[in-house]
Amino acid sequence: MLPELHSILNLLEGGFGQIKVLVVGDIMLDRYILGEVERISPEAPVPVIRHAQRYERPGGAANVAMNLAGLGCKAFLAGFWGEDGEKAELQALLDKAGVDSVGVVSSSLPTISKTRIVGRNQQLLRLDIESQEAVPEVEAQRLIDRTVELAGKVHAVILSDYAKGALTTALCEQVIRAARAARVPILADPKTPDFGKYSGVTTVCPNLHELSVATGIPVHRTEEMLAAAQRLIAEHDIEFLTVTMSEKGIRVLSRDGVYHSPARAREVFDVSGAGDTVIATLAASMAGGLHIHTAVELANLAAGIVVGKVGTVPIAQHELIAALTPSSGLNSGEKVLDLERIKVRVAEWRASGETIVFTNGCFDLLHVGHITLLEDCRRFGSKLVLGLNTDMSVSRLKGPSRPIVGENERARVMSALAAVDAVVLFDEETPLELIRSLKPNVLVKGGDYTVETVVGHEDVIASGGRVEIVPTVEGFSTTNIVKKMVGAEKA
């Protein structure tokens, strides 16, 4: 159990919503193109990928801001983007998440983007678009002016350095000065070997490789390297160093000594973006008044959650709450849940290493086709959530004579099935918002769909999940059963 648990839960359940954090740094768009490789090109010895899916995510400093928004903070982003299509895509993603891009300066240089082409879960190629030119001086000064102004209006500042040119020494000096004058914590994620660039910050958050470069000591001589890192604290007027050590956890180095937080990941799928999650959670926790040791424990817990996902996926507030309160006050045997309770239940399962499967439907008159679908769903994961259309939703889809069985009775019948772990009702015609809230690992539909026609497929894939299409049982449907019943009555 984490120390100050009551204070942490108060922050997560409402306090973070009052916290404003500014992220300054290199903004990027991460784009993924997924497909299948079935042959080699006759034009050259390269694989041919048949395009199936494409999705985008905010990257770099923008991903740090997304983590803050996921925690419930008011995130402000500052940096550069170009006047191009990538900017439009990136801004749409940030707006949707509630990230305020008031500090972002439009540049004559292109928006930095990284496009990864992936076939059968194997990255085949990465295309980076970025200029090697320095940012024009007038644009650089405009960014300094905006960030200095914002630094005095927030509760914490993060310098997210990806060595792409946004964080110049001049900008860092002025922003750090402004943050210190406002007496707010300032955190730096470094990409330069000279920590002098970040002199005066509250903490620098290097990983082992970055710390090795800064100290000149190889990673395998870890203890010697950490001892050398202590000297950087006094040399650069840093309160403490927060060193992320992968599977070894996080170590805090200060003038007063060392604090170590062991890693909390149950199973590691992808470490992409874990550093962004750590610094975002640290900043929010410190701004919320938590002791640094408690803040590090919470950041470590958040990192353990995100490395259990595939791809760069930000942390979500309810995932931390579920990890901190595994009992949640819910009856573990209760299956029919409302939206808020299913979100907590799914977060608990995910924190325990379960694979979440989602399917949906009206399930008006239960038949063998339904049972086969649900049994197929269980092949793809360990927990199955069933989204069930309410009566109002069914009527809009099927007509005023439907449903035949009411929503409460349908929910109870479905929850009695061994294959189903939870049932949640939704009023909309599609379960899109439900899928976005739950972020299942696997989304399943019957064989009369294709991946592209499944509602929510883009969101699930963008969150690191996948879509599965299973065969339907021919001749079985509620509509056919109703027709037979009507025909029998007429006869």
Return the number of other C-beta atoms located less than 10 Å from residue 245's C-beta.
Answer: 18
- The catalytic residue positions are 276
Main-chain dihedrals φ then ψ at residue 76, nearest 5 degrees = -115, 135
82's CB contacts (< 8 A; 6+ apart) are 106, 107, 108, 109, 110, 111
Which tokens hold the place of 427?
Answer: 């009023």
Task: State how far the alpha carbon of 260 is from the alpha carbons of 2, 278, 283, 434, 477, in Å.
Answer: 14, 15, 18, 39, 58
Torsions phi, psi of 361, nearest 5?
170, 180
- At residue 330, φ and ψ (nearest 5 deg) are -95, 145
CA 489 → CA 94, 167, 483, 484, distances in Å? 57, 77, 10, 9
Q: If DSSP codes are grouped into helix, strand and coil, which group holds residue 247?
A: helix
Per DSSP, 246 falls in state G
Q: What is the DSSP letter of 99?
A: -
Q: For strand 466-470 and strand 112-119, is the pairing parallel, antiparallel, or unpaired?
A: unpaired
Q: CA dihedral defined by 144, 150, 154, 159, rounded to 10 degrees?
A: -20
Both tokens of residue 411? Answer: 């929910």
What is the rounded CA–CA span in Å between residue 34 and residue 116?
Answer: 8
Residue 274 has, within 13 A of its CA and on its CB side, a CA count of 27
Could you give the angle at which helices 61-71 and 85-97 cross, rounded to 10 degrees? 20
- The residue length of the chain stands at 491
Q: Which residue has the tokens 């950041």?
A: 299
What is the phi/psi pair of residue 377, to 5°?
-60, -40
CB 253 within 8 A of CB 233: yes
Nearest to 270 by CA among 304, 294, 298: 304
Query: How far is residue 83's CA from residue 14's CA, in Å, rounded to a whole number?
Result: 37
Residues 222/243, Cβ–Cβ less than 8 Å: no
| Interatomic CA distance for residues 302 and 326, integer angstroms | 15
Q: What is the DSSP string of 337-357?
A: --HHHHHHHHHHHHHTTPPEE
